[in-house]
Structure 1
Amino acid sequence: MSSISIIEAVNTTSLTFQGQQIITAMAAGVAYVAMKPVVEGIGLDWASQFVKLKKQGEKFGCCDITIPSLGGLQKMICIPLKKLNGWLFSINPAKVRDDIRDRLVRYQEECFTALHDYWNKGFAIRPTETTADDRTPLRGIVNRIIGKYGLTYQAVYKLVHKEFGVEHINELSPKQTSEAIEYLAGKVIEGEFLGKNTTPASKFDFKLYADNANAACCLLEQLCEIYGKEVDPALRLLESPAATKMIGRLSSALAISQCIRGALYRNQGMKLSG
């Protein structure tokens, strides 16, 4: 393998790849990824993978790169970032951590499809991400779980993010969105969320949330007014289809917020001023 020393001339950073944090470094205009964190992150034995990478160094473009770390400069075996997908494709799913095995299998299935389409159709298309409307059923089950078990949005969505290797639900494909709904429904059936309510109903501060809902409504009303007077006319002059979509979304958001505010106020016997 070649040896590339990087101390000041190369930038290093951390990014998310398939739900895992990886360390990348730039050297001679090529993006490299440090393999030890990747290997250990998916539950593989580093010693055996190190030997494998050494033996197939030319295939994967391996090199030793000195990367700055909290403990000082550290030499790490790296491969070009563009070859990381191929390396993952070569991994036996049975040897990785249980919690990411299904995700790796789905990823490898995508690779099979992509290779087949490339060589047989001349092109490969990555599954499209979903629209806000596509994700409505998923948000619905999340809201029901939150309402019934008192969990936070962050806690529930974190389960989905981890299971499907995404940072946001808008990265889910239509198929994954359906699978995510089934995944959460399965958690409910299995009683996964029982006993995890950290916010007893008796301590729920209705007045606080009513006041917050009122503030949100006021801001949305102002936003709708600004949009109607300043933004909408300009978009319509440009004949942009976004004009209708945006006012529709704003109006819906305002209506939903007003309903929530009304319900909270009625619960406390409060009346809106003005």
Structure 2
Amino acid sequence: MRPGVGCSGLNRPARHRKLKAGGERWVVMRPVVEGMGLAWQSQNAKLNAGSDRYGARNDIVTRDAAGREQAMTCMPLKRYPLWLVTINPAKVPDPAVRQRVELYQDASAEALYQFWATGSATVETVAAVIRESPQNGHPAVTCRCPPD
């Protein structure tokens, strides 16, 4: 497993710096983006252009790796899944991470379908459908990441 990559193959915000500001949990996005092998410049532009959609802010001050204070691009943790489904898997260079992005996107689509069609979606019901769907092209993978 590459440094900075969570057990799901995606950079989970739990593995990176999170902070609280204004009573909300935020994810520092640059380490997440670069850990997935994506270009920070284009993702930062996407986050800033869609700041109403993603809730990204550039005015949250945190410390960098050297301990210096600086403003970082951060996203509310509750909006992080929305951003992940917008990633183009073809642009993720690492095949293992790309597969996990695709699996996440399939699971997200299933969860939204279940929620809107039946009024309920759980990890168990979504995982069961994803495991039973040979057309999704993903092997049956079970990965339980440790809680925050």
Deviation at 1:166, TM superposition (A): 4.5
* Alignment match of 2:97 (pick from 91, 94, 100): 100
For 2:69 and 2:122, how far apart are their aligned partners in 1? 40
8 Å CA contact 1:26, 1:32 repeated in 2: yes
RMSD: 2.4
Higher helix share: 1
Counterparts of 1:1-274 in structure 2 under 5 Å?
A: 18-19=8-9, 20=11, 21-64=15-58, 65-71=60-66, 72-96=68-92, 97-127=94-124, 166-167=144-145
For 2:144 and 2:101, how far apart are their aligned partners in 1? 13
Q: How many percent identity over aligned positions?
A: 36
Q: State the AA in 1 paired with 2:64.
A: S
SS in 2 for 1:127: helix
Structure 2: tracts of 5 or more residues without a match: 126-140
Aligned pair count reads: 121
Deviation at 1:127, TM superposition (A): 2.0
For 1:75 and 1:66, how far apart are their aligned partners in 2? 4
SS in 2 for 1:124: coil
Deviation at 1:104, TM superposition (A): 1.1
Q: State the AA in 2 paired with 1:110.
A: A
Go from structure 1 to structure 2 and tell me whether the alpha carbon gap of 1:84 and 1:111 turns closer, same or farther (over 3 Å shift): same
Q: Which has the higher contact order (CA 8 A, sep 6+)?
A: 2
With normalisation by structure 1, the TM-score equals: 0.41
Deviation at 1:103, TM superposition (A): 1.0
Q: State the AA in 2 paired with 1:55.
A: A
8 Å CA contact 1:118, 1:124 repeated in 2: yes
8 Å CA contact 1:103, 1:164 repeated in 2: no
